[in-house]
Amino acid sequence: MGFPRQVNVQAAPAVVGDFCDANPRSTVDAAEGALVAGSSGVLVGRFGWIDPSDGRSVNNFGAGAPTGFIRRGQEGIITGYLAESSLFIPAGFPVTLFNAGGFWASNDGASTTAPGDIAYAENSTGQAQFGTNWTGASVTGSIAANVVTGSIAGDVLTVSAVTSGTILVGQTISGTGVTAGTKIVSLGTGTGGDGTYIVDTAQTVASTAITASGGTLTVSAVGSGTLAVGDALTGAGVTAGTAITQLLTGAGGVGTYAVNIGQTVASEAITVASGTATKWVAASVAAPGELVKMTTWLNG
C-alpha cells in the first residue's frame, strides 16, 4: 500500500471482491490441483468460468452463465514494477470461486442499480452490469464443421487436405480407425490447416476423413457491435448453445472464429449476445462505476 495522497469525504465501503455481509456462502467444488488462474490470469471482483477443456483453469471469459465469482481473498500478488496494488492473479496461481454469498462488485454498466436487479455477466471480461443485458452484435456469417483428410502415425497427425473449418489445439478428433477421445495437444508444422499436429494417444490410422470438435464461424459483414470470446450466437440455423471459444483471423469484426459446437450453417443473419443473466442480484443502490452489494440471497 502506497502513501495516502488524498482525503475522501466518505470512506470507501470496501474493495471490489470483498464479502459484503455475513450470510452463508459456498465455493465451487474443485478436483486435486484446481482451481488455478488460466493462461491469461484473472482479475478478482469479477465473474469466472472454468475452462471445460481441462476442468481446472479459471478465466474471466467463457460461454453461458459464469461458474462463480472471484473473491478478493488471496495474499497480495503485486508483480508490476513499482506497482502499489493489484487485483490480478497471475496464471497458475490458486483461485477460489464462490457460487453463493454476498460480495462487493463493481457496477460496470451505464445505469444506476436498484435492489433486486439481475446481474448480467459480460462473457468476454467477467464484468457485471445490472437490470439490462450487455449490448451484443449483429453480423452476417456462416458456420462450418471442422473436417479434414489425415493420417496418424504414432502421436503425429498429418493433415493433407482441409474440407472445412480449422484444426486447433484442444480439439477432440474422430474418424474411421481413430481411437475414441483422441485430442490434439500441440502444433507440429500445421497452424490450422495442412501440416502435422501432436495427439495424446499413439496409434496408426491410414488416410481418412477426420472430424475435429467444434466448428468455425466465418463473419462476412458486421451490422453493429463487436465479437469476443464467450459471446453466444443465435440464428435461424444455429444450434442452441453455440458460443465463440477462440479468435482466429477475426478480432471483433470480419474474419473467422472458433465455436464450441460443430455444425453447418449457410450464410445468414446471426445475433451475438455478449452477456448472460446470472443468479446474482443487486442488493444496494450504486451509480455506474461504484461498488454495489451483489448477492445470491433474494429478499422475500
Mean pLDDT by 10 residues, the chain (300 residues): 72 92 95 90 96 92 95 78 85 95 97 96 96 94 98 97 96 97 96 96 97 97 94 94 94 96 96 94 96 91
Same domain, 180 and 222: no
Q: Is residue 13 part of a domain?
A: no
Which pLDDT score, from 0 to 100, does residue 1 have? 55
Q: Is residue 268 part of a domain?
A: yes
Q: Is residue 226 part of a domain?
A: yes
Q: For 66-99, b where at least 16 C-beta lie within 10 A, e where not — what string?
A: bbbbbbbebeeeeeeeeeeeebbbeeeeebbbbb
Which pLDDT score, from 0 to 100, does residue 276 have? 94
Residue 275 pairs with which residues in a beta bridge?
Answer: 122
Q: Is residue 1 part of a domain?
A: no
Which pLDDT score, from 0 to 100, does residue 81 have? 81
Q: Is residue 230 part of a domain?
A: yes
Which pLDDT score, from 0 to 100, does residue 76 have? 63
Cα–chain center distance at 234: 17
Contacts for 164 with CB less than 8 Å, ≥ 6 apart: 144, 145, 146, 147, 216
Residue 19, Cβ neighbours under 10 Å: how many?
17
pLDDT digit string, tens, across residues 49-91: 999 888 999 999 998 999 999 999 876 677 778 777 889 999 9
Q: Which of 161, 195, 211 is the last residue of a domain?
A: 211
Cα separation, 122 vs 41, whole angstroms: 17
Which pLDDT score, from 0 to 100, does residue 84 have? 77
Q: How many helices (H) and strands (E) does the chain have?
A: 0, 21
Residue 64, Cβ neighbours under 10 Å: how many?
14
Per the structure, the complete domain to which residue 197 belongs is given by: 147-211
Cα separation, 32 vs 69, whole angstroms: 20
Same domain, 184 and 288: no
